[in-house]
Every structure is written in structure tokens, then in C-alpha cells.
Amino acid sequence: MNNLIEKIRSDFPTLNVKVHGKKLIYLDNAATTHKPFIVINTLDNFYKLHNSNVHRGVHHLSQIATNLYENSREKVREFINARHFEEIIFTKGATESINLIAYSYGRYFLNEGDEIIISHMEHHSNIVPWQLLCKEKKLKLRIIPIDDDGNLILEEYYKLLNEKTKIVSIVHISNTLGTINPIDKIIEEAKKYNAITIIDASQSIQHIPIDVQKLNCDFLVFSGHKIYGPTGTGILYGKKEILEEMPPYQSGGDMIKSVSFDRTIFNDLPYKFEAGTPNIAGFVGLSAAIDYINNYGFDYISNYENQLLEYATRKLTAIENLKIIGNSSKKASVISFVINNIHPHDIGTLLDNEGIALRTGQHCTEPIMRRYNIPATSRVSLCFYNTIDEINVLYNEIIKIINIFN
């Protein structure tokens, strides 16, 4: 282990936690990442020194809290290179961001017979809101199929597109297969039919740089807790001209300019979509998380994570009776696998006993499980505080489990 990785690991206090008396080996980063001291201390400081509500009072602390909160919005804008500050809406997570689009944009602009395209590798959060909308508005949900390696079949996507296509909502990187989807091509084709494009960046935002202007997507969503920030922080990016046309999603305080019993005038962007007191401390913490990532930069992070991915793939592939689900040539550091005759939950419990945390189950992607005719998978998801040594321990423990079951 070199000095830099040691330094990075020392920034994350939870990595020192002992599990069943063993050193924690945390390989569940696609579910949530751990938080560096800079984020934890920022939350701590906010509550100790700056706690107040935002956009409310004229008093000193309220002003500081408002500044910190709005600086975070600017930080996010810069991070994904949005054109305008008002295009960054704070939500409680990627799930709420998608629901906001479905309920506000979808309900308002879509009509009976219109079509929405998603893919076979979507997280449930990018399936269910559209199903509900389709039922309510009598719309049609179309699904882009995937091949045996876990790639979207683009020719089928092109066939699905037509004048009735109003929304194309696609995951950037699959949380189960690790596939990096060619979203630039997907967005470009959707534009030919004037369809609105939504990118679920929940699993890409922590691995690769995102530039929403270059992508030219209409919406992009992600969760702060997957990029080393606090839970309960979500981002909805939307193009200003579209957000302006959309009706509010939730209503109440802070999202209004004026209220009387006859009529209410809604606030401007982004506040029109932020009713009620938001997760102020959380977003101040998210700003610190972005600083932390920027400090290392994606050149370093992506390169290091790719090395881990390659090494882990090689090690796991060498295990007899182990099959990796998701073998795209373009992958992020997420590896799902199954082992003959050993259920993922048994693998998960036995690995946990050795201090190894990984996800087992369907990963909120039940259609993928059906596609590959498997009940569940075990999933290793790596990030830039993981090490080659940890992958070696995982390898050895998997071999032991196979021996127990045979």
C-alpha cells in the first residue's frame, strides 16, 4: 500500500471499525460510501456554530446558514458544469428527484398514448415512478433490452423511438452490472424525436466526471450519500427553460413569493421546487464532500478504481464455478457474481463473519435477475479507498466458503 492510499484511508474513520473482531473490508460502496472527516466535521461545525434556518430571518446565523447552503448549490453547479445556479434543485435523494420529474413534468406535459422509454437495467427507482405515471395517464412504458454481457441493445432502442416518445430515462452506470451506458448516443437519438432525456447518475457521479452541458441531457439526478456526502441529500439538475414551465411538486413554505386565500404566487427557481425546511446541514456537508473529491480529481480516482476493477475481475474470474454477471467492455468498479449451488445470502453472511461487507440480493433491480434467470447475486462495489490487499482477502474467503459447501 503506498502512502497516498494510506492517507486516503486515514480520512475515513469508519474504515477502522472492527466487525466480528476483524478489520472491516467495505465493498458495498454502490449502496453508500463512507464519509471522510472533512464531511463529518462540517456537519458537526454546522450544528455547533451555524445552526439556523435558511431564507428566513434577518438575523446573523440565518444569514450564515443561508450562505453556506447556497454556496453548496454553486459547488454542485460547478461540479456537473450546469449553466445556471437555478438549475440545481435540492431533494432528499435520486429517488425523489425522479419522482419530482415524473409528477411535475410527466403529469403536466404527457397525454394519453404518449410513450416513455427506460431500459432493462434500471434501478426500481427509475421504473416504478414511470409505471405509476403510465397507469394514471394511460401512457406506454417501453423497455430497451440488454444482451448477455449486460450492454443495452442500441438497435432496439432506435426502433422504440417514435413521435410518441416523450421521455427517455436511462441509468448512466448500472448499479448491478457495472455497465457504463453510451448516454451521449442515447441522448442524441432522443433529441431527434424531441423527447426529454433523464440521466440517473447515481452510480456514475462518484466514478467519472459529468458535464451536463456537454451531455445536453434535460435532467440528471444523483444522491449525495454515494459521493461521500451525507444521506438525505439529492440533486435534480434540470434545464432552466424546462424547470420554469413545470408546476411545483410539493407546496408549502419557502416555495412561494406571496400567499393569500385567493391565490398564491410561486417562488422562482430553484426554490419553487424546495418546499419546507431543507436538509441544510446535509447540503453543507455535501459541499465538503465535493471539495474532497476535487482535491484528488477524477483523473486519479477513475484510474485507481479501474485498476481495482481489473484486478478484482481477474481474481474472481479465476475461481471455478464463479460467474460474473455483467461483462461489458465498458464497466465501472461494480462486480456482480454468482457461485454454483451457493446462494448469495450464505456468501454474504459468511463473508460478513470475516469483516467483509458486500451486498447480496437483487440490488433493487429485479428485472435484471429475471433476465439472467438468477434469484440474486453477490455484489462487490469498489471505490478509491479500497485496496488490492482487500481484494486478496475477499478471494481467499470465497475459496474457503466454496470448500465449506462442498
Partner 1 sequence: MNEIQELYQQVILDHNKNPRNYGEIADATNIAEGHNPLCGDHIKITAIIENDIIKDLKFKGSGCAISKASASIMSTLVIGKTVEEAKKLFDVFHKIVTSDIRDRIETIELGKMAVFAGVREYPARVKCASLSWHTLMQALDKAQKDSTKVSTEIILN
Q: Does 375 bind partner 1 (CB under 8 A)?
A: yes
Q: Does 291 bind partner 1 (CB under 8 A)?
A: no
Q: Does 404 bind partner 1 (CB under 8 A)?
A: yes
Interface with partner 1 (CB under 8 A), residue from 244, 345, 388, 389: 345
- Residues numbered 101-140 forming contacts with partner 1, rule: CB under 8 A: none
Alpha carbon distances (Å) from 232 to 235, 276, 278, 282:
10, 14, 10, 7
Minimum CB separation of residue 375 from partner 1 in Å reads: 4
Stretch that binds partner 1, among 109-117, 230-238, 287-295, 358-366 (CB under 8 A): 358-366
Interface with partner 1 (CB under 8 A), residue from 85, 372, 395, 405: 405
- Residue 342 carries which side chain, given as an amino acid letter? I
The rounded distance, in Å, linking the Cα atoms of 229 and 35 is 6
Stretch that binds partner 1, among 73-81, 190-198, 320-328, 354-362 (CB under 8 A): 354-362
Nearest to 26 by CA among 36, 12, 15, 11: 15
Select 141 or 374, whichever has its Cβ closest to partner 1.
374
383 is catalytic: no
Q: Does 311 bind partner 1 (CB under 8 A)?
A: no
Interface with partner 1 (CB under 8 A), residue from 171, 186, 288, 369: 369
Minimum CB separation of residue 406 from partner 1 in Å reads: 9
Q: Does 328 bind partner 1 (CB under 8 A)?
A: no
Q: Does 339 bind partner 1 (CB under 8 A)?
A: no
Residues at the contact surface with partner 1, assessed by CB under 8 A: 341-346, 349-350, 353, 360-362, 366, 369, 375-376, 404-405
- Residues involved in catalysis: 364
